[in-house]
């Protein structure tokens, strides 16, 4: 009997952990893409997440190779699953990094990450 109860508790813990892992908003795609090359300077960056994110608690910043922040406005899009970063100035050729953070609107979990892209 103890073995069956132990197994049931173990299965419940595994399922609970799997449910919690799915609750985080993960970056699904980005344009320009991670490691990608933009042949023309983008006016906007689009980041799509695995679930709805909080507009007030999520954001992104674009930096040039020297670490200078590129002025931009960020807003949610695509039914609340995306961030659009509207650049206030054209990007010059070079390497750029995007640092993002997203807070899932349903449970408040925060995720974050960074990726780079190049403008030719």
Predicted confidence (pLDDT) per residue in 28-80, tens digit: 999 999 999 999 999 999 999 999 999 999 999 999 999 999 999 999 987 89
56 against 8, higher pLDDT:
56
pLDDT at 102 over 90: yes
Confidence category of residue 23, pLDDT binned at 50, 70, 90: low
Residue 8: Cβ within 10 Å count? 10
Residue 79: per-residue pLDDT:
85
Say what the pTM is: 0.79
In the chain, helix, strand, coil percent, each to 5? 20, 45, 35
Provide the Cα torsion 87, 90, 91, 93; round to 10°: 160
CATH number of 25-119: 2.60.40.1220
């Amino acid at each position: 009997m103890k073995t069956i109860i132990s197994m049931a508790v173990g299965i419940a813990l595994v399922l609970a952990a799997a449910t919690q892992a799915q609750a985080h908003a993960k970056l699904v795609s980005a344009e320009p893409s991670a490691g990608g090359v933009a042949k023309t300077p983008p006016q906007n960056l689009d980041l799509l997440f695995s679930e709805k994110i909080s507009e007030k608690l999520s954001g992104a910043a674009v930096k040039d190779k020297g670490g200078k922040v590129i002025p931009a406005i960020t807003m949610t899009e695509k039914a609340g699953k995306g961030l659009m970063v509207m650049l206030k100035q054209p990007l010059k050729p070079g390497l750029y990094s995007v640092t993002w953070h997203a807070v899932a609107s349903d449970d408040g979990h925060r995720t974050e990450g960074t990726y780079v892209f190049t403008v030719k």
